[in-house]
Chains A and B, each alone.
Chain A
Amino acid sequence: MATTLTAPARTSRRTAVEPSRKRRKPLSPARIIATVIVAVLAVTWLVPFAWATVTAFKSETEAAAAPITLVPKSGFTFDAFAKVLQQGNIPQWTWNSLFTSAAVTAVTLVISALAAYALSRIDFKGRKVLMTVIVASLIVPPPVLIIPLFYQMVSFHMIDTYWGIILPQVIAPAMVFVLKKFFDQIPRELEDAALVDGAGRIRIFLQVVLPLSRPILAAVAIFVFIGAWNNFLWPFIVTNDSAMLTLPVGLQTIKSAYGIQYAQNMASALLAALPLILVFLFFQRQIIKGISTTGLAGT
């Protein structure tokens, strides 16, 4: 465990977001005012959630009635949730999102880590050129590629398939650089010792480098997963069949199909929001750390 922690500790940004306990001072008037302002902001930020929740627990008639009520006066009801789960494809879409996001994350992690290791450690001809090309590719905005990629997917017969959703999302040059930067900081001596012992590159990568890189791999995985889970534009373009939609894309069709079913709209939105909010509540620290480490390089 001690060795695991030495490598990350070198990156200054890694430990940054820990709450700074040592700076807890007594409450001065300035800090009381600051707390009040922050509290007001935080409450404001929670309002859309709260309002959606209240609406989702109303009956459809009450949700559509003016003047609006802040507490359902005919009592809380699960009708909207029940209706949405019966009619819609929400369970199927959730599965599609889960499966494709997990696949995107796994493939991205494997190919990016391998590439980052080569760029960081192996001295081979062409490395500099590859670095330049990959850096340059960061400038390409994904929307520019949708037209040719769509056409490509048609000729690959990948429209309305998981392949079509997953494959174009696995290229993450920014993540390659995040990983490379981390690998650069692992002391070379650790590998040299293994090399002298006659271990091959693959074994060194798997048994020396990867175990030391767990924190950064987790950070990259979280970042890629959130991105894939919430991606709208690409899945929207490559899917048509209602059974193949991801959750964000499916919700868009619900909105137009149900029209003015406000309680059901909010119930669907909350159901779609739930998985990542739960994940966040459980892994808050890791996620925040991950965003802070990979954030500046990402998107």
Chain B
Amino acid sequence: MSTTIDKRQAAPAAPAENRHEARKRRDRIHGWSFMAPFLAFFGLFLIWPLIYGVVMSFTGKSLTGANSSFLGLANYAEALGDADMWHSLGNTLYFTVISTVPLVLVALLMAALVNMGLPAQWLWRLSFFAPFLLASTVVSLFFVWMFNPQLGLINDVLGKVGLAPVDWLNNPDVAMWSIVIATLWWTVGFNFLLYLAAMQNIPTAHYEAAQLDGAGGWRQFFSITLPQLNQTTIMIVILQVLASLKIFDQVYQMTGGGPGGATRTIVQYIFEAGFTGYRLGYSAAISYIFFGLIVVVSIAQFAVTRKRSA
């Protein structure tokens, strides 16, 4: 052992550099080897389809195999003049706005109430969060049944308190709101948990100081809790907007996009163009228009976040 140490101390400058080089080389090999499995999947199932999708969007590729000739920007031009595409995009934005507001506010309300140190916290967390564990299909089955015009529980309750029944899923003016109700029930628990975690991270010293100053519960909520939650709120809003823009499952399952396309979202339109209309190239073009929208929204949100934190 002692001889080894002696040798190391006595090593001249050149071999030390070699060792440094050797270490660098070894790190490079190790680094890329550790990355390799992830990169293989990443390249094959993300980068490649992302590029290949662009290629497809320039062609007339179809599911039937016929006519996969190069069309240039024709698909994009057609999509931009396609009233159904714009309608679906409009529906998607409408849903995003009317779903994000309750999904953030109700989550905040739930977390604020539970965080008051109420008894049986586990019970409240369980009931608010449990729906998040359900598959979209289960949620849709539940709510199609709840919304049933004649046999549904909701209209039954409305009838008992003397209100007129509502045709929840077949009235074009109401259908999107019904989707929002189902979505709120399904996913608000996730935002609730994020808020609750953030609230429980606020140092209690803040509240103790405020109490000494005679600040009541409301005052404490508005001048301590809310400001401390700023970052969390921004994150939740960003995640929620991005998630809402991608909505497909529950709409497709509950209304199929109906009535008369009133709830058809852009992802459903992509799906239908490709798999019902067999036009993969056209569908790919719409996918990239949608992608462009997501990029714009993300950049806008990034800019807003930067400004606020700067």
Name A residues whose Cβ lies closer than 8 Å to a Cβ of B: 12-13, 16-20, 22-25, 30-31, 34-35, 37-38, 41-43, 45-49, 51-52, 55, 63-68, 107, 110-112, 114-115, 117-119, 122-127, 130, 134, 137, 139-152, 167-168, 170-171, 173, 176, 201, 205, 226, 229-230, 232-233, 237, 247-249, 251-252, 255, 262, 265-266, 268-269, 272-273, 276-277, 280, 284, 288, 291-292, 295-296, 299
A37 to B34, CA, bound (A): 51
Tell me the minimal C-beta distance from B113 to chain A in angstroms. Answer: 5
| Contact assessment for B27 and A123 in the assembled complex, using a CB-CB cutoff below 8 Å | yes
A13 to B196, CA, bound (A): 11
Q: List A contacts of B153 (CB < 8 A).
A: 47, 51, 68
User: Can you sample 14 A-B contacts with CB below 8 Å?
Assistant: A24-B117, A30-B116, A38-B113, A48-B185, A111-B38, A114-B34, A118-B34, A140-B50, A144-B290, A147-B280, A152-B45, A168-B45, A252-B137, A272-B137
B77 at the interface (CB under 8 A from A): no
| Contact assessment for A16 and B201 in the assembled complex, using a CB-CB cutoff below 8 Å | yes
Q: List A contacts of B124 (CB < 8 A).
A: 38, 42
B12 at the interface (CB under 8 A from A): no
Contacting B41 at CB < 8 Å: which of A49, A117, A167, A248? A167
Tell me the minimal C-beta distance from A242 to chain B in angstroms. Answer: 15
Contacts A272-B137, A280-B130: A38 and B50 contacting too (C-beta < 8 A)?
A: no
Q: List B contacts of A292 (CB < 8 A).
A: 193-194, 196-197
In chain A, what residue has the closest Cβ to B275? Answer: A237
A291 to B190, CA, bound (A): 8
Tell me the minimal C-beta distance from A185 to chain B in angstroms. Answer: 17
| Contact assessment for A147 and B113 in the assembled complex, using a CB-CB cutoff below 8 Å | no
Cβ proximity bits B118-146 to A, threshold 8 Å, 1 near / 0 not:
11011111111111011111101111111
B271 at the interface (CB under 8 A from A): yes
| Contact assessment for B135 and A122 in the assembled complex, using a CB-CB cutoff below 8 Å | no
| Contact assessment for B287 and A144 in the assembled complex, using a CB-CB cutoff below 8 Å | yes
B158 at the interface (CB under 8 A from A): no
In chain A, what residue has the closest Cβ to B204? Answer: A23
B304 at the interface (CB under 8 A from A): no
Contacts A124-B32, A140-B291, A280-B133: A152 and B193 contacting too (C-beta < 8 A)?
A: no
Q: List A contacts of B194 (CB < 8 A).
A: 291-292, 295-296
A248 to B250, CA, bound (A): 11
Tell me the minimal C-beta distance from A168 to chain B in angstroms. Answer: 4
B11 at the interface (CB under 8 A from A): no
Contacting A296 at CB < 8 Å: which of B28, B122, B235, B290? B235
In chain B, what residue has the closest Cβ to A63? Answer: B151
Q: List B contacts of A30 (CB < 8 A).
A: 116, 217
Contacting A150 at CB < 8 Å: which of B129, B140, B274? B274
Residue with the greatest number of chain A CB neighbours at <10 A, chosen from B35, B142, B249? B35
A100 to B142, CA, bound (A): 25
| Contact assessment for A19 and B290 in the assembled complex, using a CB-CB cutoff below 8 Å | no
Q: List B contacts of A127 (CB < 8 A).
A: 31
A56 to B39, CA, bound (A): 47
B150 at the interface (CB under 8 A from A): yes
| Contact assessment for B197 and A273 in the assembled complex, using a CB-CB cutoff below 8 Å | no
Question: Which 8 pairs of residues, A with B, have the shortest CB-CB distance?
Answer: A124-B31, A118-B34, A248-B135, A115-B38, A148-B49, A148-B53, A292-B197, A16-B197
Tell me the minimal C-beta distance from B133 to chain A in angstroms. Answer: 4
Q: List A contacts of B248 (CB < 8 A).
A: 143, 232-233
| Contact assessment for B127 and A13 in the assembled complex, using a CB-CB cutoff below 8 Å | no
In chain B, what residue has the closest Cβ to A145? Answer: B49
Interface of B is mostly: helix
| Contact assessment for A299 and B138 in the assembled complex, using a CB-CB cutoff below 8 Å | no
Contacting B30 at CB < 8 Å: which of A37, A122, A149? A122
| Contact assessment for A55 and B145 in the assembled complex, using a CB-CB cutoff below 8 Å | yes
In chain A, what residue has the closest Cβ to B119? Answer: A35
| Contact assessment for B145 and A170 in the assembled complex, using a CB-CB cutoff below 8 Å | no
Cβ proximity bits B56-83 to A, threshold 8 Å, 1 near / 0 not:
1000010000000000000000000000
| Contact assessment for A142 and B246 in the assembled complex, using a CB-CB cutoff below 8 Å | yes
| Contact assessment for A37 and B138 in the assembled complex, using a CB-CB cutoff below 8 Å | no
B288 at the interface (CB under 8 A from A): yes
Residue with the greatest number of chain B CB neighbours at <10 A, chosen from A48, A114, A139, A150? A48
Cβ proximity bits B226-255 to A, threshold 8 Å, 1 near / 0 not:
000000000100010011011011000100
Tell me the minimal C-beta distance from B283 to chain A in angstroms. Answer: 5
| Contact assessment for B128 and A42 in the assembled complex, using a CB-CB cutoff below 8 Å | yes
B284 at the interface (CB under 8 A from A): yes
| Contact assessment for B133 and A226 in the assembled complex, using a CB-CB cutoff below 8 Å | yes
Q: List A contacts of B129 (CB < 8 A).
A: 288, 291
Tell me the minimal C-beta distance from B56 to chain A in angstroms. Answer: 6
A248 to B290, CA, bound (A): 25
Tell me the minimal C-beta distance from A253 to chain B in angstroms. Answer: 10
Q: List B contacts of A252 (CB < 8 A).
A: 137, 253
B86 at the interface (CB under 8 A from A): no
Q: List A contacts of B126 (CB < 8 A).
A: 280, 284
| Contact assessment for B113 and A66 in the assembled complex, using a CB-CB cutoff below 8 Å | no
| Contact assessment for B246 and A147 in the assembled complex, using a CB-CB cutoff below 8 Å | no
Q: List A contacts of B38 (CB < 8 A).
A: 111-112, 114-115, 171, 176
